[in-house]
Amino acid sequence: MTIHNSRLLILCLATIAVLFALQFLLSDYLVLALTRILILSIFAMGYNMLMGYTGLLSLGHAMFFGFGLYAAGLSSYYFGTSLPVSFLIGVAASLVFSFVIGLLALRTEGVSFMIVTLMFAQAAYLSTLYFSKITGGDQGLTLPTTARSFSLLGIGFDMTSDTVRFNLSLVMFSAVLLFFFFVTQGPLGRLFSAVKENEPRTQMLGFDTYRVRLAAFTLSGTVSGLAGALYGLMFGYIGSAFAGFHYSIEALLFTLVGGPGTLLGPLLGTGVMTMLIDRLSGITTAYLIIIGVILIMVNMWFPKGILGTIRERWIPWLK
């Protein structure tokens, strides 16, 4: 296999190495915060594949996060499936639902597509409240401690351990990051970009752009659901708040701040936004006003996100 952007691959591997080393340097609290950032970064990477690389703006991606969360969590809670099996159930459910919803939503374009994805997401969110006897509604369900450990290849994993959770999250983050590197550098990634830049011309070249957009939508939804399944099983809690509208907006903000269409942008955006909210909320209850001002300043100085603007001005291989 020919690697066309070896510098970006080296940067990705260096980023993974730095993240691994941070667990030995940071406090327990910050390691826990970094675990959450890694999982939400996977969610943002999934969103970025649709919005950043294909140019489709969805307002309902929290439903895919919720599909993964609930499918994995409920199977473990009610049927006692092991955590790896529950995780695979969550990913499979996200794949199926994202494919089916993509078949319908991609019949629309532009503002209509945004509205349709939002409506699907609201229907999914309200369903978690309506079937509260099963889902726990807004109170949610907590997985029993006995269900939060498993054995794989003779190795025991205790999900109540901060170290285990961090390293498993890092493994999943690394796998998704490298997978997306090869996707974006390959023919499929170039088709995604072609649809974003000029869909009519892509059609004239003989490509079925509906199938290309459906592939991007399904891939994006599946990875978002993977993040949801990982989040629910890691922290042992599932609740309707994770399927709410604000989670879709958070994925959008993470991507916009980091840089749409850049591989490491979602990680940077998620880290910056999560730590800002965490620190400022401990200082003042009006932290959202400060966050809003900071976002305006970031948008003025980095109109294409932090990494997106750096790529455009100085480092063109930072895709």
How confident is the model at residue 146, as a pLDDT? Answer: 73
Burial class (CB in 10 A: 0-12, 13-18, 19+), 287: middle
Length of the chain measured in residues: 319
Mean pLDDT of 84-98: 95
Confidence category of residue 2, pLDDT binned at 50, 70, 90: low
Q: Residue 288 pLDDT more than 80?
A: no
Share the mean pLDDT of the chain: 90
The residue with greater pLDDT, 116 or 303, is: 116
Report the alpha-carbon angle 88-89-93, nearest 5: 115
Token pair of 94 as six digits:
């996200």
217 alpha-carbon distance from chain centroid: 13
Q: Which two tokens stand for residue 268?
A: 């940077």
Higher-confidence residue: 34 or 239? 34
Q: Each residue of 6-41: pLDDT tens digit? A: 899 999 999 999 999 999 999 999 999 999 999 999
* pLDDT of res. 5: 82
DSSP 250-318: HHHHHHHHH-TT-SSHHHHHHHHHHHHHHHHHTT-TTHHHHHHHHHHHHHHH-TT-HHHHHHHHT-TT-
pLDDT in tens, 123-176: 999 999 999 899 988 888 998 877 788 887 778 888 888 999 999 999 999 999
**Separation CA 238–CA 134 (nearest Å):** 11
Kindly give the pairing relationship between strand 237-238 and strand 141-142: antiparallel
pLDDT value at position 1? Answer: 59
Q: How confident is the model at residue 239 (pLDDT cuts 50, 70, 90)?
A: confident
Q: How far is CA 88 from CA 35, 83, 170, in A?
A: 20, 9, 18
Structural tokens at position 175: 């796998």
Tell me the pTM. Answer: 0.94
Work out the angle between the directed axes of helices 245-258 and 28-54 (0-180°, nearest 10): 80
CB atoms within 10 A of CB 89: 20
